[in-house]
Amino acid sequence: MEAIDLALALLRLVIGVIMIAHGVNHWIGGGKIPGTARWFAGLGLRNGILQAWLSVITEIGAGALLILGLLTPFAAAAIISVMLVAGLLAHRKNGFFVFREGYEYVLTLAVACLALGLTGPGELSVDHAAGIVIDSWAGGAIALGVGVLGTAALLAAFYRPQPAPAPAPEKAGEVS
């Protein structure tokens, strides 16, 4: 085993555990599914309950696949898609830095998953053991392409933000 294989296994493990924890938190933490659904609806996504469950299933499933190194570019694509949706709808308006609720964190996870798509899962993976490794440009293209297409499909089907309320008319004699 080479050091790169251990590094890739560690990267898969850490990102996979983060995604599983995030999915479990959406499911049973804080506001549970109803709270997650309200949050998604507040971001402009229709069918909040469905969105909450899709998020939970995607995050837990992709995290588990990534840990195993199974279907790695597809697991990476799922995480890239989740991070793109989060970045676009929840974090972009807040700027870059995570301490201001910006997109720094989701960008880091998405790019790390793209890197895993490009490199492949390494020798310490089910993909390697089964001889189904898809890496290099093909793995990167799957991770990025499927991730972006998944994001576009979700937004096209479910994103319906509420229009901003119109400003109140000024009363006669008031100075702005």
100-113 core/surface letters (b: 16 or more CB in 10 A; e: else):
eebbbbbbebbebb
115: in domain: yes
Domain count, the chain: 1
133: in domain: yes
7: in domain: yes
Whether pLDDT at 136 is above 70: yes
Whether pLDDT at 15 is above 70: yes
> In the numeric block, which tokens belong to residue 106?
């989701």
Whether pLDDT at 173 is above 80: no
176: in domain: no
Q: How far apart (Å, rounded) are the C-alpha atoms in residues 173 and 68?
A: 69
Q: Which of 149, 152, 160 is nearest to 45 (CA)?
A: 160
Q: What is the pLDDT at residue 175? A: 55
Q: Quote the domain boundaries for residue 129.
A: 3-158
131: in domain: yes
What is the mean pLDDT of the segment spanning 86-91? 96
Is the pTM higher than 0.85? The answer reads: yes
Would you give the distance in Å from CA 37 to the centre of its chain? 16
169: in domain: no
172: in domain: no
> In the numeric block, which tokens belong to residue 133?
């490794």
- Amino acid at position 29, single letter: G
DSSP state of 172: T
| 8 Å CB contact between 145 and 81 | no
93: in domain: yes
